[in-house]
Amino acid sequence: MGLGCLRRIFGPKRDEVTRKWRKLHNEELNDLYSSPNIFRVIKSRRMRWAWHIARMGRGDVLVGKPEGKIPIGRPRRRWEDNIKMDLQEVGCGGLDWIELAQERDRWRALVTVVMNLRFP
């Protein structure tokens, strides 16, 4: 739901210190609405899919050799790079994610942590 619509539903909030009415901040609206953050959901599902790929031993899925001209500018971010960035946010950036995924309990804990991260 849009933030403007949520502001209208939940209304203003009275500030305890100044005793004035004010608009609710985005974080307060998200806490009141308690809908899962789409960034968290995408990252956690990407991590779960990475676990499946690593457990299957399908490293060939991640290795691709594109043919044709190389586009100008920054290289496109690969799926594996996204996994590495997600692990860096959790604090496991230096570890090999394929080896890390072999430990099921530890990987599940990482997916849970990714789901509960706060994003700006």
Q: Name the token pair of 8.
A: 């209208």
CA atoms of 72 and 66, how far apart (whole Å):
15
Burial of 87 (0-12, 13-18, 19+ CB in 10 A): buried
Q: How confident is the model at residue 86, as a pLDDT?
A: 86
Band of the pLDDT at 62, cuts 50, 70, 90? low
The domain limits of the chain are 3-33, 38-115
Q: Name the token pair of 6.
A: 């949520």
Residue type, position 85, single letter: M
Q: Which of 6-15, 33-42, 57-66, 71-80 has the lowest mean pLDDT?
A: 57-66
Is the overall model pTM greater than 0.85, yes or no?
Answer: no
Long-range contacts of 4-9 (CB under 8 A, 24+ apart): 6/32, 6/33
